[in-house]
Structure 1
Amino acid sequence: MANEKKPNNFKISPWLIYVVVIIGFIALNYFGGSGFQDTTKISSAKFNEYLNKGQIEKVIIYNKTEGEAYLTKEALKDKANAKVAKDMMGGVNKGPHYSFDIGNDESFQNKIEKAAQEGKIKDYDFKAKSNWGELLMGILPFVIIIGLWILIMRRMSGGAGGGGGQIFNIGKSRAKLFDEKTEVKTTFKDVAGLEGAKEEIQEIVEFLKTPEKYTILGGKIPKGALLVGPPGTGKTLLAKAVAGEAKVPFFSLSGSDFVEMFVGVGASRVRDLFKQAKDKAPSIIFIDEIDAVGRARGKNNMSGGNDERENTLNQLLTEMDGFGTNTHVIVIAATNRADVLDKALMRAGRFDRQIYVDLPDIRERKEIFEVHLAPLKKVENLDTEFLAKQTPGFSGADIANVCNEAALIAARNNKTAVDKQDFLDAVDRIVGGLEKKNKIVTTEEKHAIAVHEAGHATVSWMLEHAAPLIKVTIVPRGQSLGAAWYLPEERLIVRTEQMLDEMCATMGGRAAEKVVFGKISTGALSDLEKVTRQARAMVTIYGLNDELGNITYYDSTGQSEYSFSKPYSEETALVIDKEISKLIENEYQRAIKILEDNKEKLEQLAAILIEKEVIFKDDLEAIFGARPFNLPPEETELV
């Protein structure tokens, strides 16, 4: 609007104030109330000489100990007084011109009165004088020290902004308040997928809007809801939607906002936060990353810093469910480390609901794509279901990143709209890293990389439970010299044969090097890491090993990370190591046998890979024929 006033962004720096005050003190001391005049100190004998000559026009006596003399105009013209004739600015010095000390005040007074009677002096006066300059200069060091102390404490307590900006407000809560004055545009419509989580959170919002719907039946509002899930699944986004939908005061802060180097500050901030929330009840408090203060007490208490965190947690526990707790304040928290949280925090009455926000399935990924594709300029009839299939295991944040990367890739290629290929390139960029086409690779190394990647592709093609291949490349990406893309089946449970087939396909690269060259290289490091981790999980976590039987050493509480002892004996550790090695070696030999049976096709595939640098599913079908495992029964018989 035309009549709107522009905000005044002018701010005065505290440093500027300090500099002005110091300069003022120095000026007062330097000039001592004498303005810009130049006053020269003379002896009492010299003053008597000027007095007897009749060159003194006026005398002012201060405290009967010090005097100031003003010369006549004729005396200022004398060369002997040339130094005091002009002031510091070059103008006429109006006086006082000389200052002097008085010995005997009574005799001096008689002398002045006699000179006045004889007409040697026109005027004289006695005044009291306080030395403000010296007094202020005595105070100045203390003022500077206090000013610097206040400045340092402000910096340490979080700067000039926010609730903790001043040293006296360090115990105040740093929560951001969203109410009717602060519009939050995010709603549940902006949160794709997460149907179960949205349903439970929406119920809390509805209770705040229409509590009588529930209280008439005797129901009580849940005191807290804990959002748990992997990073990027939309926990914070869900909280933003609550802020936009609830239409009640919403306090948002991070768990680390309670943490401070001063003792007792965390607990003080918790008290202040809940006091503000109770004053504005009904209200919602959202604490993101609550594991910063909610870790289990008494664990790894090696330093005094943990005491302060535990005091903060104790205060939080009391505020959430203690004597005098206000039931109209709801606490929503989010974390991806629920295993380390204190049991007292997780109990009913504090966090009544624990809502698991899982990675989205294929249907939810399609909805998330549609939300993030809305602002993009894309081609018509873009298949979002295809994009959802190409991104298994991606979180909502990953999908948002894919859409953004696709738009950047399209702009880099000077396209007018984002198409399907841009999204595939974006997925490759995120999963595999940036292509490094300028990386120098010798012909021998390129052949070895091609054989390695062709080995992965061949073994995975020949195994029923291995993930189907999408494409293979020998163009270096990120830290890898080659890469293979698979489309894993989204399973809720995994069987032993499925895990073994995946391990065998992973060992296919090293096995191909052994079959073709008769020797192995260091290129299989990531493969070895993956199969070792998978084999260890089979033996020690999932109980899928016949030698050890139905036993697991997995601790879901997370307390084992603080323990210095293993949950099994040394003899069992030897058995575990032996079984892990046996599992990996069996799958390695199995991969070697598959590749020896298909050695000609393996070398043919490697040759095509060297020529094209990238091969797809169609190239494998041309060499090996259709994969029989995913076909209907009648087509499988034909194959």
Structure 2
Amino acid sequence: MGRWSPGITCQDVSKRHIIHGRVLAVIASIFVAKTIWFGAATASVIWSVHPTKVNQENHTNHVDSMEQQLDDVGHASIFQVDMELRIRQFQRRRLIRILNQFTNMRKNQRVIRELANQGPDGSHLVNQSISPVEVETTGPPPELAQLLVLEARIRRLRHLRRILLAKKAAARSRQELASLRRSPVKKTLQTVCGSCLGMCVVAKTYPRISQVVKAAKNWNDKEERTWLRDVGKHADKKYAEFQEVVQPWLEPFQPFIDYFWQAWIWRGFQRRLMAARERELKETSDIGVPNVALEDVAGIGSAKTEALEIVECLMAPARFASLGAHCPKGLLLTGPPGCGKTLLAKAIAATAAVPFLSRSGADFNQRYAGAGTTMVKELFATARRISPAVILIDELDYLGRQRGEERGGGLETDRAAALTQLLAEMDGFGSADGVVVIGTTNRPDILDKALTRPGRFDRKVTVPLPDVEGRYQILRKHSKRLVLDSSSKLIGPETPTAPDWMAWAKRTTGFSGADLAGLINEAAMAAAREGCSSVREHHLQVAYTKLLIGIPSGRHQSPAEMNVTAFHEAGHAVVNEVMRVSLGASGIQGFRTVAHISIVPAGGTGGVTQFADPEEASRIPQSRKVLLAMLAVDMGGRAAEEIILGQGQATMGAQTDIDMATRMATEMVAAGGLSKAIGPRSLQSGLAPSQALLSVVDAEVKLLLDQALSAARAALSRNGALHAAVAEVLIQQETLDGKAFQRVVGSFPVHPVRLPV
């Protein structure tokens, strides 16, 4: 059989030629069509954006004509925008190189003039009044104006690209939604009709394809034709007889067979293309413009102002460079966890419409030595290639810890090498490169000094916990997706019966943005668990209690235990109300109010009393008298137990209250300087206090706690009827919100007490 395997006959060879020819015909036609379309589109875009002259007037006219062509979102295509954006970015990099070289030329010329003015032997170096340096009179290079216009066009193209991508995604979503809504019968009929249409097309084109394949089969070299004639002479005769018998039966089904195997080949080709596209998207998944607006970041105070300045530098760096200003290379965001540092970095990139590259500090700690250094190089190389861009290094304290304290062997050495490479990369690019590095950390005290110096992280911004107004904005933002309790079943914070978000903002003092988002989500989950069709006020209260003290234990209290718990929690609430009235009588307005009382066991506690802080505008200073009032509120539960159970019969229910009061009293004495015996002196300055001084501190702390307990007893004794009424309502209802508590208080007069000075 020559060079062919013994199992292959002439029929197999003929079939192989036919199949190969048909496959090549289909693939070649698709490839030629795509090549012609891509080449024509690319040529049209390149022809439309090709710069004609270097002068400013023609360049501006050229940009204006392009804006007329592409600014219409309805007629622009994503391919045209992408192609022009790539060309504009190439032109921008070219202009930046020209400007950098122009700056170097000026620097060298200035050095030449300075050396020439120092005389032939440099003796005029000290006395610089002789032959002063000539003042430069040349203006800025013409490329600077071109760069300003080009950056404006690039910003427009980026914005237009985002609009087109959003429209494309919306159209795809509409198609998928329509496909899901279509009935199965209609979808089946559509598939069958499409298959029949494809079969008809194949049946019409089959004779032409057969002629092409037959011509291709006969177009072989002489050696193969000779071998095929000699070896397959007998097989051709047998195959011809077989075709005469079988061909009449196969001829009607041949178009269907051809359609199915061609569709199978085309489907496999599409799958390979999609797999390659998915791999590409996976590799570049961290490169893109985030879908976060700067308005979505609430409660960050002055950090947003710094963010807007970084956005302006990213959008028009040449405008700052033309005035001699250097845009910041780095922005260090510090603050407690959950305050929105990472979200702010994404919002900066999204507002400036620039690519966003994100890495965690732990990502640079790889399995192999030197991998972290390589990753830093690749990260900055990618950022320069797609500049302007934003690089986010989250949890920077892992990578940027102080060097010289390595205790982990090679792992720590590799981390230090990655940090050194990061320092070198941040020194290696200028503000005109359009790359801004943003680092986030909640431990700025352990960062390396070389990392935080000016020239690397130029700006250091603290993102604090949100204030009352910030918490209010965050709650409203996250509540937009909630179905709140309303007759119209509206969604969002403006429903007729929406919760009082300002009241909740006052109650959530110390909550971060992440905590508030968790509060809203827990409320929605509580409503879903109960089978409710909307989120109500008590669902927010359930979520709030769960976040503070834990999940309700479901344990049933005995009547005696419930009675003690009710009087204990009522003691806290009544003493707080008495202290508020007493401070108001002495001219101090704005003490905290009762927000919620519960005697439902949860998180290891039998009950809880929650307070709402006033607004920042009416917040009172924490003077000695105000802090003593807060201590009295903490001791209100212990005083209530002693009143109803008798002196010396109190329970362990006040353990947490006493612990909090002791900590506050110790801070007042040892750090705040609010003790008469100690005076304005801090024991937390690092110096070891003497034993005698510690004894005085203990005595002062005990004195403050005794005074607070006495004030709580006096408040409950003078307002016993109110105390009993609140406890009775708690026994009946188990929970009491702030408004219900104020209704009970309104039925009784509140008698103030005299606070110790």
Which residue type is aligned with residue 470 of structure 1? A
Match of 1:551 in 2: 681
- Are 2:618 and 1:502 aligned? no
Instruction: Tell me, in whole angstroms, the C-alpha distance in 2 between the residues paired with 1:624 and 1:403.
Output: 36
SS in 2 for 1:618: helix
SS in 2 for 1:526: helix
- Change over 3 Å in CA distance of 1:568–1:318 after alignment to 2: farther
Instruction: Tell me, in whole angstroms, the C-alpha distance in 1 between the residues paired with 2:578 and 2:703.
Output: 22
Match of 2:608 in 1: 483
Match of 1:460 in 2: 576
- Change over 3 Å in CA distance of 1:520–1:626 after alignment to 2: closer
SS in 2 for 1:399: helix
| 1:534-581 superposed Cα distances (whole Å, 9 cap, x missing partner) | 2232233333333333333557xxxxxxxxx86544444444444333
Q: Comparing both structures, which one devotes a greater share of its residues to strand?
A: 1
SS in 2 for 1:535: helix
| 1:418-444 superposed Cα distances (whole Å, 9 cap, x missing partner) | 3444334433333343333x3032222
- Change over 3 Å in CA distance of 1:621–1:306 after alignment to 2: same
Q: Comparing both structures, which one devotes a greater share of its residues to helix?
A: 2
- Are 2:539 and 1:422 aligned? yes
SS in 2 for 1:286: strand
| 1:242-278 superposed Cα distances (whole Å, 9 cap, x missing partner) | 2323333322011121234655544443344334333
Instruction: Tell me, in whole angstroms, the C-alpha distance in 1 between the residues paired with 2:332 and 2:538.
Output: 39
- Are 2:398 and 1:292 aligned? yes
| Counterparts of residues 206-221 of structure 1 (less than 5 Å) | 206-221=312-327
Instruction: Tell me, in whole angstroms, the C-alpha distance in 1 between the residues paired with 2:549 and 2:462.
Output: 29
SS in 1 for 2:333: strand
Instruction: Tell me, in whole angstroms, the C-alpha distance in 2 between the residues paired with 1:336 and 1:374.
Output: 29
- Change over 3 Å in CA distance of 1:177–1:348 after alignment to 2: farther
- Change over 3 Å in CA distance of 1:191–1:410 after alignment to 2: same
Indicate conservation of the 8 Å contact 1:621/1:627, yes or no.
no
Superposition deviation, residue 496 in structure 1: 2.6
Match of 2:306 in 1: 200
Superposition deviation, residue 310 in structure 1: 4.1
Instruction: Tell me, in whole angstroms, the C-alpha distance in 2 between the residues paired with 1:227 and 1:601.
Output: 50
Match of 2:655 in 1: 525
Instruction: Tell me, in whole angstroms, the C-alpha distance in 2 between the residues paired with 1:533 and 1:314.
Output: 44
Indicate conservation of the 8 Å contact 1:175/1:252, yes or no.
no
Instruction: Tell me, in whole angstroms, the C-alpha distance in 2 between the residues paired with 1:548 and 1:322.
Output: 55
Indicate conservation of the 8 Å contact 1:285/1:330, yes or no.
yes
SS in 2 for 1:551: coil
Q: What is the identity percentage for the equivalent residue pairs of Structure 1 and Structure 2? A: 37
| 1:179-222 superposed Cα distances (whole Å, 9 cap, x missing partner) | 4xx45221213223435222211221221211132222211111
Match of 2:360 in 1: 254
Match of 2:525 in 1: 408
Instruction: Tell me, in whole angstroms, the C-alpha distance in 1 between the residues paired with 2:724 and 2:732.
Output: 12
Match of 1:25 in 2: none
SS in 2 for 1:494: coil
- Are 2:669 and 1:539 aligned? yes
Match of 1:233 in 2: 339
| Counterparts of residues 177-188 of structure 1 (less than 5 Å) | 178-179=286-287, 182-188=288-294
Match of 1:48 in 2: none
| 1:480-515 superposed Cα distances (whole Å, 9 cap, x missing partner) | 110112112255753232222112101111122223
- Change over 3 Å in CA distance of 1:214–1:433 after alignment to 2: same
SS in 2 for 1:218: coil
SS in 2 for 1:360: coil
Q: 2:703 aligns with which of 575, 582, 594?
A: 582
- Are 2:463 and 1:357 aligned? yes
Instruction: Tell me, in whole angstroms, the C-alpha distance in 2 between the residues paired with 1:566 and 1:323.
Output: 46
SS in 2 for 1:475: coil
Superposition deviation, residue 306 in structure 1: 4.9
* Structure of larger gyration radius: 1
* RMSD value, Cα: 3.5
- Change over 3 Å in CA distance of 1:246–1:449 after alignment to 2: same
SS in 2 for 1:463: helix
Superposition deviation, residue 341 in structure 1: 2.9
Indicate conservation of the 8 Å contact 1:601/1:624, yes or no.
yes
Q: 1:592 aligns with which of 666, 688, 713?
A: 713
Instruction: Tell me, in whole angstroms, the C-alpha distance in 1 between the residues paired with 2:560 and 2:434.
Output: 71
Can you give the 5+ residue segments of structure 1 that lack an aligned partner in the other structure?
A: 5-160, 164-173, 556-564, 630-639
Which residue type is aligned with residue 444 of structure 1? A
Instruction: Tell me, in whole angstroms, the C-alpha distance in 2 between the residues paired with 1:306 and 1:522.
Output: 49
Q: TM-score if structure 1 supplies the norm length?
A: 0.63
- Change over 3 Å in CA distance of 1:319–1:536 after alignment to 2: farther
Is 227-236 or 492-501 further displaced after alignment?
Answer: 492-501
Match of 1:391 in 2: 508
Superposition deviation, residue 329 in structure 1: 2.8
Indicate conservation of the 8 Å contact 1:387/1:423, yes or no.
no
Match of 2:59 in 1: none
| 1:326-360 superposed Cα distances (whole Å, 9 cap, x missing partner) | 86432111122233333433332222212222222
- Change over 3 Å in CA distance of 1:420–1:516 after alignment to 2: closer
Superposition deviation, residue 621 in structure 1: 0.7
SS in 1 for 2:481: coil
- Are 2:573 and 1:443 aligned? no
Indicate conservation of the 8 Å contact 1:233/1:357, yes or no.
yes
Superposition deviation, residue 376 in structure 1: 2.4
Match of 1:472 in 2: 597
Instruction: Tell me, in whole angstroms, the C-alpha distance in 2 between the residues paired with 1:532 and 1:176.
Output: 55
Instruction: Tell me, in whole angstroms, the C-alpha distance in 2 between the residues paired with 1:554 and 1:260.
Output: 41
Instruction: Tell me, in whole angstroms, the C-alpha distance in 2 between the residues paired with 1:343 and 1:627.
Output: 59
Which residue type is aligned with residue 612 of structure 1? Q
Indicate conservation of the 8 Å contact 1:177/1:250, yes or no.
no
Match of 1:84 in 2: none
Superposition deviation, residue 373 in structure 1: 2.2
SS in 2 for 1:471: strand
Indicate conservation of the 8 Å contact 1:192/1:367, yes or no.
yes
Which residue type is aligned with residue 535 of structure 1? A
Superposition deviation, residue 521 in structure 1: 1.9
Which residue type is aligned with residue 358 of structure 1? P
Q: TM-score if structure 2 supplies the norm length?
A: 0.54
Superposition deviation, residue 285 in structure 1: 1.2
Instruction: Tell me, in whole angstroms, the C-alpha distance in 2 between the residues paired with 1:458 and 1:582.
Output: 23
Instruction: Tell me, in whole angstroms, the C-alpha distance in 2 between the residues paired with 1:254 and 1:583.
Output: 48
Superposition deviation, residue 302 in structure 1: 5.3
- Change over 3 Å in CA distance of 1:553–1:237 after alignment to 2: farther
Q: 2:728 aligns with which of 607, 620, 629?
A: 607
- Are 2:473 and 1:367 aligned? yes
Instruction: Tell me, in whole angstroms, the C-alpha distance in 2 between the residues paired with 1:272 and 1:481.
Output: 57
Indicate conservation of the 8 Å contact 2:506/2:613, yes or no.
no
Match of 2:435 in 1: 329
Which residue type is aligned with residue 611 of structure 2? Y
SS in 2 for 1:227: strand
- Change over 3 Å in CA distance of 1:249–1:611 after alignment to 2: closer
Which residue type is aligned with residue 617 of structure 1? F
Q: How many residues align?
A: 450
Match of 2:376 in 1: 270
Instruction: Tell me, in whole angstroms, the C-alpha distance in 1 between the residues paired with 2:456 and 2:702.
Output: 47
Match of 1:94 in 2: none
Indicate conservation of the 8 Å contact 2:317/2:432, yes or no.
no
Indicate conservation of the 8 Å contact 1:175/1:251, yes or no.
no
- Change over 3 Å in CA distance of 1:580–1:390 after alignment to 2: closer
Superposition deviation, residue 322 in structure 1: 6.8
| Counterparts of residues 19-168 of structure 1 (less than 5 Å) | none
- Change over 3 Å in CA distance of 1:479–1:294 after alignment to 2: farther
Which residue type is aligned with residue 605 of structure 2? S
Match of 1:128 in 2: none
Which residue type is aligned with residue 601 of structure 2? P
Match of 1:431 in 2: 548
